[in-house]
Every structure is written in C-alpha cells, then in structure tokens.
Structure 1
Amino acid sequence: MNWRQLFEDRNRFFWVLQLTGWIGYALIQYIASLTQETRDIYVIIVALGAYAGFLLTIPLRYLYQRIWNVRPWWLAIIVLFASLCVAALWAVIDNATNWEIYQFGYRPINPFMYFNHTVAKLYIILSWSGLYFVIKYYQMLQDEKQKALTAVSMAHQSQLKMLRYQLNPHFLFNTLNAISTLILVEESKAANKMMSRLSDFLRFSLDNEPIKRITLAREIEVLMLYLDIEKVRFEERLQVRTDISDDAAKALVPSMFLQPIIENSIKYAIAKLESQGIIEIKAWVANETLHVQISDNGPEVYTPETETKSVQRQSGGVGLSNTKERLKALYGKQYYFNLSANNPTGCIVDIQIPWQVV
C-alpha cells in the first residue's frame, strides 16, 4: 500500500492519525517529565492517560460526522459541550489511575486542582477537535478541486462527442435534404425558417462553453431548435409535449445535457414507430431538488418480465452514458439518473440534481 492509497481511504487515514497522534502525545508528556523528579512508574501513568484520550476521542469522530451539516453556531456549541464532557471524564480517569498506581501516600486532588486538570484536558480535546475539522475541510476542498478538474475534462470530452454528432454527415444531410425539398416545392418561407433554426442550433453548439451552466428555460429553448429540425424528417410522426414549472425553468443545468437523451429517444423510439411518436419533457422542483423526466412511447412493450429488455438502449446509447458521466463529474453523489420502462410502451429517463439558481 502506497501513501496515495492511504490518503484516499479516509477511514484508514483517520486511524493512522489517531494512533500516531496519541503516541506522540504520550512521548511529549514523558519527555516533559524528565526535567522533574518522578518515579519510574510514571511511564505507565503517561501511557494510560494517552490510551484514555485515544479511546475517549473516538466517539467524538462519529458525533462530528452526524452534526457536520448543522448551522455553524450550533456546531460550535455542540463541539464545545462535547469536548468539555470528554475532558471532565478524562480528568476523572486520570485521577483514578493515579490513585490506584500511587496508592501509598497519595491523596485525591482537591476540587480546585481537579478544575485546573479538566481545563488542561479541555485544551487538548479542543485541539484534537480543531485538527479533525481542519483535516476534514481540507479533504472536502481537495474533493471539490478534483471534482472540478474531472468536470472540466469530462465536459470537454462531452463537447467533442456532441460536436461529432452535431456535425454528423447523416444529420446534416437529412436536414439539408429536407430544406432542399421545401425549396423544390416552393415552400421558401418554411425552408428559410429551417435554415435559420439549423444555424442557431449549430452556433449555440459551437460557441457555448462546455462547462457553462444555463437556465433550464434556455436549455429547453435550444432543445426545441433541434426538435424542430427533426420534425421536418418525421413530420406528424413526432409530437413534443413540455411541462416545466416556473421554479424549474429558473434552475441552472449543464449546457445541452438533455440533447443526447432526446437523440436517444428519436433513434430508438420515434424512428421505429409507424404511428405518431410522442416525447414528453417534464420538470419540477421538490425538496431543493430539480426533477427532470423525459419519456417516449417507443415500440417496446412494458411487462415486468421484459423491462430489462426495454432499457437495453442504455447500453447502446453513447449519449446516455456520456450524460451520466457529466452529471457524476459535476455533482458527485448528489445526482440521480435512471432509465426505466414506460407504461404501456417506451422508456422514461429520470434525472435529479440539486436545484440551483442564479
């Protein structure tokens, strides 16, 4: 095991620091005692004191983990109170240890000395708590830094994949062929409209920063440019329905994260239907979470036995896996992505990400 693996395993790293720290505390105590005239048995006293501190601070770790997200002033009060309780208990244990080992001629310390002993222990416990929070915050900052670097890398990869699709010869051929057909039948107004939307869509795709976040309303607006282009191919066979709440429309989302999902629906659902295909886009906010749901009525028939077959498009769709990787890079564990069977036919993509606004 190398040092990098040690730092990545948070639980192992804690125990290494815990053990090393209290051994160091015992050594410092013993070295400080060498300047005074003490009995040889004082080594045992120091070792038992360090061992008591080692054991008593372990529950603090689990307490601090549970209260990590409380308000700062509540956190400070709980930490101070818990540290005081641990310090007082540690002082009692030290006193009892001294009494048992120095039985002859030893008397329990008086209340004033006990108070001073408790205060000294409190400084040590507060120092332990401070180191715990400093290391924890440092680990969080490192996680955020790594997450940001990963997000940048994944976003650039995602942009390349999107550009590879958006400039796909088949896509451009189908779109330009549809425009050409409109011109031949003297539908110049419709042809001009389609050319304008194609231009706007490609301009947004090429000019937009890959890691930039935009409002969901803007995301839907650009998505409609893409769908309007596809409607030329499928005509009445493609119907799009949207239901976006006001709060959801204000939410910040990764740029063009829905386009690969819509592409997937068109490829595996709409293109395989002889009847009308329907794509529904819904978005709402609940419990500070943005919920986005995209569903289609593809040809797969829903049954409990065949549900796994109906989601096979997930493994074959580069866009879906790409979207999941982008969400993971941007939000870590604070996202949800699921592809399931729709009822009676088709598929549903459910996405949940933190609700963030400008």
Structure 2
Amino acid sequence: MNTTTRTKPWLAQPPHLFWSLQIGGWIGYFALNFSAMLGDGKPWHYVYYSLSTTLIGLVVTSLLRLGYRRLWHLPALKMALGSAAMLVVAELVDTKLYTEVLFTFCDDCRPHSALGYIWYFASRLYVLLSWSGLYFGIKLARQLQQQKEAALKAQAMAHEAQLKMLRYQLNPHFLFNTLNAISTLVLDGRADTANRMVGSLSAFLRYSLDSDPVQRVTLAQEIDALNLYLGIEQLRFGERLQVQMDIDAAARDALVPSLILQPLIENAVKHALAKREEGGRIEVEARRDGDTLDIHLRDDGPGCSEADSARPDHRGVGLVNTRERLRVLYGERGQFSIDNRLPHGADVHIRLPFEIAKGN
C-alpha cells in the first residue's frame, strides 16, 4: 500500500521562532506602556497595571494564533473571513479584561456612555490588528521562502537527473567493438593482448560507473581516464591510431565534468579513423587562458560537411550529450563549437571557467 504523509503548512514554522518574537514583542509593549505611564505622572505601582495588560495581550494573542493556524490551509477568502471573526471575538475578550484591570487602578477612567467603551474597543483593536498583520506577514514570508527553496531544490534535482541520464548513455557500439576485438584476439591466440584489453576495459568501466556526473574532477584525472579508453582503442587499431597529448601544466588542476572528453574522442575514432584504412591522428590540447580553460580535440579525418553541421545531432549522439551537459552545468559561461580544419579534419573547441578545487 502506498501511503503519503502530507505536512500542513502551519506545522512547518519552528515554534521557537514564534515564541521568541511573541515574548520579545510583548516585553517591548510593556516597556513602552510603563514608560508612558511614568511620563504621564502616574505612580510606580502602575507597573502592575502595565504588567497585567501585557499578560492579557500575550495570552489572548497566543490563543488567537492557535485559531489562525487552523485556518491557514483554507482558501484565501474563507481564511480571511474566519480570521476576521476570530479577531472580533478575541478583541471582545481582550477589551473586557483590559477595562476590568484599568478600572481597578483608575476609577475615573470608567466611561459614562457606550461611546467610551467603543473607544476602548477601537484602541485595543489597533493593537491586535497590528499583531495579526505581523503574524500573517512573517508567516507568509516564511512560506514564500520555503516554496522558493523547494523550487530551487527541485530544479537542482532535475538538473542532476538530466546530467546522469546524459552521462550514462554509454555507447553500446564501443562495448560491442571492444568485446568483439577481445574475442578475435583470443581466437588468434593473442591471449596476452586480449588479457590487457580486458584489464583496460574493466578499469575504464569501473571509473565510468563510479564517477558522479554531477561532481567535477581535475583535468589530470580526466586525462588519466581518457588514457584508459585510448589504451583499449590502441590495442584494437594498433599503429593506425596515433594520439598526441599537449596538456599545459597550469591547466592540469582545472576542474572539468567527469568523462566530458571521452565521448568526443570516441566520436573522432568512429568518424575520423575507423573508416579509413590508413587510420588517423587525434590531438588533445589544453591551455589556461586567463580565467578560462581552453580545450581543443582535433582529428585529421574528413571533417564535417555543411549538411552535417546544420543538423544539431551531427556526428553522433556523443556530441549532443556533451553540448547539453555543458549547457546544464555552465549555461552561458561555457562554450562548445565544432569547426573544420584545413586541409581536412575537425576541431572540437571547449571553453570553460577556470576553477580549481578548494585547497589547491
């Protein structure tokens, strides 16, 4: 059975916050009321009057809060009407208690007509209205803040899910080709080479599955993972695959998304090397350019035709996933482009904010 626990909005407010504001506010009311009494020439024993009226206000508003909490989940109109009715009832009780205390200390303050009682009612209503306004204002502000935090959390979770989906789309052709190559090596009696390829494949898959697509790694770690992949491909293609790495020392500590380069290299192997009998060359270059990490992945294959470049999915899903991961992670701060080289070949260019891990 699927059960869902729903939390009412009014339960989310920490009680210590209310009581801190409630007690602090009424202490301020007491200080203001008593100082006004002294300023008006009243004797010191009026401190009991100020203390009594303060306690009345504290108790009445605390009970009023219980009623407001019960109405909070209702539609706006019903909540407003219910709150108004509760406020009138609370004000009648408050005025009754207030005047009883007042007349105990000041017999001359007793009014001689109903208009005087209306004045006392209106003056005390102003206090409760002010308290109610603060109560609903603070409560609404907290609810809006909680909704904003929930929306940001949901957005972050959606981005994380999207990144994981993009990163875990491991190309089945790579696994198929590698396993097929291992099978061929075994049949040809090249068990040592097949064993090395199995070890490299195992290490690469372990790194691929253990790495978190949301977290970032240093470029040095990314190059190490890339070398695992290239080691497998070089066992497949032998001297047909030539690789050149040119990684600036200042760029090695830069943070990059995990396995962001492997799909690009895989794409280059598939389109620039595998279909050519003579093989091909792949170059990886990384430099720090001020506050930017500049990465180039080049090959000497046929490049991209204008028809291919016009399509958003040209040269494979790996490029699309890489572009989308960079967009989700960096927005406008990241750049991704593909250009043709002369006389032939392709150049994948990535520019990211240069950031290093804290403590480095």
Q: Is 1:310–1:347's contact at 8 Å kept on the other side of the alignment?
A: no
Q: Which residue of 1 aligns with 2:353?
A: 354
Residue 268 (str. 1) matches residue 271 (str. 2): yes
Q: Which residue of 2 aligns with 1:75?
A: none
Residue 159 (str. 1) matches residue 167 (str. 2): yes
In the aligned structure 1, how far is the partner of 2:327 from the partner of 2:347? 19
Q: What is the deviation of 1:290?
A: 0.3
223-232 vs 289-298, greater mean Cα deviation? 223-232
Equivalent residue in structure 1 for 2:292, among 289, 306, 331: 289
Q: Deviations over 1:21-71 (max 9, x none)?
A: xxxxxxxxxxxxxxxxxxxxxxxxxxxxxxxxxxxxxxxxxxxxxxxxxxx
Specify whether residues 148 and 344 from structure 1 end up closer, same or farther in structure 2 by C-alpha distance, changes over 3 A only. farther
Q: Is 1:215–1:249's contact at 8 Å kept on the other side of the alignment?
A: yes
Q: How is 1:54-133 mapped onto 2 (pairs within 5 angstroms)?
A: none
Q: Deviations over 1:266-311 (max 9, x none)?
A: 121112222230010000001110001001011248xxxx6x2464
Q: Is 1:197–1:229's contact at 8 Å kept on the other side of the alignment?
A: yes
Q: What is the deviation of 1:150?
A: 4.8
Q: Which residue of 2 aligns with 1:279?
A: 282
> In angstroms, what is the RMSD of aligned CA positions?
2.5
Equivalent residue in structure 2 for 1:250, among 253, 274, 296: 253
3-state secondary structure, aligned to 2:343? coil
Q: Is 1:300–1:310's contact at 8 Å kept on the other side of the alignment?
A: no
Specify whether residues 300 and 210 from structure 1 end up closer, same or farther in structure 2 by C-alpha distance, changes over 3 A only. closer
Specify whether residues 227 and 254 from structure 1 end up closer, same or farther in structure 2 by C-alpha distance, changes over 3 A only. same
Specify whether residues 343 and 157 from structure 1 end up closer, same or farther in structure 2 by C-alpha distance, changes over 3 A only. same
3-state secondary structure, aligned to 2:179? helix
Equivalent residue in structure 1 for 2:313, among 309, 312, 315: 315
Q: Is 1:239–1:279's contact at 8 Å kept on the other side of the alignment?
A: yes
In the aligned structure 1, how far is the partner of 2:335 from the partner of 2:202? 33
Identify unmatched segments of 5+ residues in structure 2: 1-144
Aligned residues: 209
Specify whether residues 300 and 214 from structure 1 end up closer, same or farther in structure 2 by C-alpha distance, changes over 3 A only. closer
In the aligned structure 2, how far is the partner of 1:289 from the partner of 1:147? 27
Q: Deviations over 1:214-265 (max 9, x none)?
A: 1111111111111121223322211111100112111110001111111211
3-state secondary structure, aligned to 1:337? strand
Q: Is 2:334–2:350's contact at 8 Å kept on the other side of the alignment?
A: yes
Q: Is 1:314–1:320's contact at 8 Å kept on the other side of the alignment?
A: no
TM-score between both structures, scaled by the size of structure 1: 0.53
Q: 1:274 is matched by which residue type in structure 2?
A: E
In the aligned structure 1, how far is the partner of 2:160 from the partner of 2:264? 21
Specify whether residues 150 and 326 from structure 1 end up closer, same or farther in structure 2 by C-alpha distance, changes over 3 A only. farther
Q: 2:313 is matched by which residue type in structure 1?
A: S
Q: Which residue of 1 aligns with 2:239?
A: 236
TM-score between both structures, scaled by the size of structure 2: 0.53
Q: How is 1:141-160 mapped onto 2 (pairs within 5 angstroms)?
A: 148-160=156-168
Specify whether residues 281 and 144 from structure 1 end up closer, same or farther in structure 2 by C-alpha distance, changes over 3 A only. farther
Q: What is the deviation of 1:146?
A: 7.6
Q: Is 2:193–2:235's contact at 8 Å kept on the other side of the alignment?
A: no
Q: Which residue of 2 aligns with 1:329?
A: 328
Q: Is 1:216–1:253's contact at 8 Å kept on the other side of the alignment?
A: yes
Is the radius of gyration larger for structure 1 or structure 2? 2
Q: What is the deviation of 1:342?
A: 1.2
Identify unmatched segments of 5+ residues in structure 1: 1-137
Percent of residue pairs identical: 45
Specify whether residues 326 and 281 from structure 1 end up closer, same or farther in structure 2 by C-alpha distance, changes over 3 A only. same
Q: Is 2:245–2:283's contact at 8 Å kept on the other side of the alignment?
A: yes
Q: 1:223 is matched by which residue type in structure 2?
A: L
Q: How is 1:34-53 mapped onto 2 (pairs within 5 angstroms)?
A: none
In the aligned structure 1, how far is the partner of 2:318 from the partner of 2:178? 20
Q: How is 1:205-244 mapped onto 2 (pairs within 5 angstroms)?
A: 205-244=208-247
Q: Which residue of 2 aligns with 1:89?
A: none
Q: 1:208 is matched by which residue type in structure 2?
A: S
Q: Is 2:302–2:346's contact at 8 Å kept on the other side of the alignment?
A: no
In the aligned structure 2, how far is the partner of 1:173 from the partner of 1:151? 30
In the aligned structure 1, how far is the partner of 2:303 from the partner of 2:256? 30
